[in-house]
Structures are given as structure tokens and as C-alpha cells.
Amino acid sequence: REQARLRASVVEEDTEQWQRDPHFSGLHRVGGVDLSYIKGDESRACASLVVLSYPALEVLYQDCRMVPVTAPYVAGFLAFREVPVLVEAVQRLQQEQPQLQPQVLLVDGNGLLHPRGFGTACHLGVLTDLPCIGVAKNLLHVDGLVRDELHREQVRSLQRSGEAFPLTGTSGKVLGMVLRSYNNSSKPLYVSVGHRVSLDTAVRLVRACCRFRVPEPIRQADIRSREYLQK
């Protein structure tokens, strides 16, 4: 019920001037979020929020801290486990260094590509009212989408960085895009709309943020949360 209620607030198109520019002129700060867990400990995690400059992709801000995780992991409801602590991280940044607030957030997870059309990227986007993009490393099996031989053949057909194809469910709705983000990686990314961004813009921006397979804001959030755990 909560997902359905919040789902009504999702905006699936571009709302910012920079999003409509072919070179993203006016975009200066891109955020990435991630949670890293300690093996064998489901009650705590390291929540990480980083903000990178754009287009240089240099880290301007990082916030890594241990947080309690109270909700159990239930497939399709990951947001209830992770989003509250990520919202708190965004709010801390807004209070302490508002000039570094990201203009868009990249989320390690799905947006509209979700059983009820409301994944973590949508949830975080609606609660923070920031443009959000879902970037997943694996295909979520929803609306008839499966990693069958046809899907694998389509993935193999992506020869160069930036090539993509739409994920169309049996309902006929395009739920996301499969993107080859990096020439040296044959494993694609699954990009979907979170909030206040169109799918085309989401795919263009994710590609523009990739030095490796995973876009740099998410990659840096992941690296820094793992380093924090090791310390």
C-alpha cells in the first residue's frame, strides 16, 4: 500500500534544464549511494553517499557511517530496508553543506523496473524529491522479462560502449534499458527511471559517468563503504 501510494508521485520525465542539453551543460554535481553489509551481520551496514563533480567525476563529498538495519530483506521491498538511512544521509548533506547537494542521484538498484513499478531509486527519489536513476547489475524478472537465450543474444549484439536496447515487458511497457556501459565489459547494466528523469536522459547520463562498467558515483560509494568496513 505504501509503495502504491508513493508510486503516484513518481515523475517519469525530465524536469531540469541540464537534462535537455546534449552535453548536460549546467550539471555540476552527481551523487551516488550504496549500502555495504558485513558478512554474517544483517543488523548493521555501512551507508555511503558520495557527490562527484561533473564532468570531471572527482569526489567532492563523502559520508560513510555505520547504520542499524531494522527491516528484514524481502525481495521487492528492499527500499524499506535501505532508503530510510539514505534519506538521512541526503538530509545531513543538505543541512551541513547545501552547496554540494547533488543535482541527480545514481542508485545501485532499480527504479520502474520493479514488480510494482516502484524500486529503490523511485522510493529514494520521491522521498528526497531529487532526480534519481536506477542502475542494476542484474536483470529483475518482472512483467515477463527473463534472461533467456533471446535476451543473451541481444546482450551479445551490444558491441560498443553506449549501445543499448529497451526492456519491454509482456504488458508492452518499456521498463528500462540494457546498456553496454564500457567497451571492455560484455556485462551490461540495467538502467531504469527513478524520479524526475526520462529514460533516454538516464541512459545518456549513466554512460557519461562510466570510466569502468559501473558508473563512477555508484562505484565510488561502493569502494568507500567497503574501505570503511575494513577499517
pLDDT digits (tens, 9 = 90+) for 209-231: 999 999 999 999 999 999 999 99
Residue 42: its pLDDT value, please? 85
d(CA 203, CA 190): 9
Instruction: Name which of 145, 111, 146 is nearest 125 in CA terms.
Output: 111
Residue 86: its pLDDT value, please? 97
Residue 49 bridge partners (DSSP): 33, 63
Residue 177 bridge partners (DSSP): 166, 191
Strands (E), the chain: 29-38, 41-53, 59-68, 104-108, 132-136, 164-168, 174-179, 189-195
Residue 63: its pLDDT value, please? 98
Q: Is residue 92 scored above 90 in pLDDT?
A: yes
Mean pLDDT of 54-70: 97
- The separation between the first and the last C-alpha atoms of the chain, rounded to the nearest angstrom, is 40
Q: Omega of the bond prior to 55 within 30 degrees of 0, cis?
A: yes
**Displacement of CA 204 from its chain's centroid (Å):** 14
How many domains, in total, are found in the chain? Answer: 1
pLDDT digits (tens, 9 = 90+) for 143-156: 999 999 999 999 99
Q: Is 90 strand, coil or helix?
A: helix
Instruction: Name which of 43, 179, 45 is nearest 106 in CA terms.
Output: 179
Domain span holding position 189: 1-137+146-230
Domain CATH for 92: 3.30.2170.10
Q: Is 181 strand, coil or helix?
A: coil
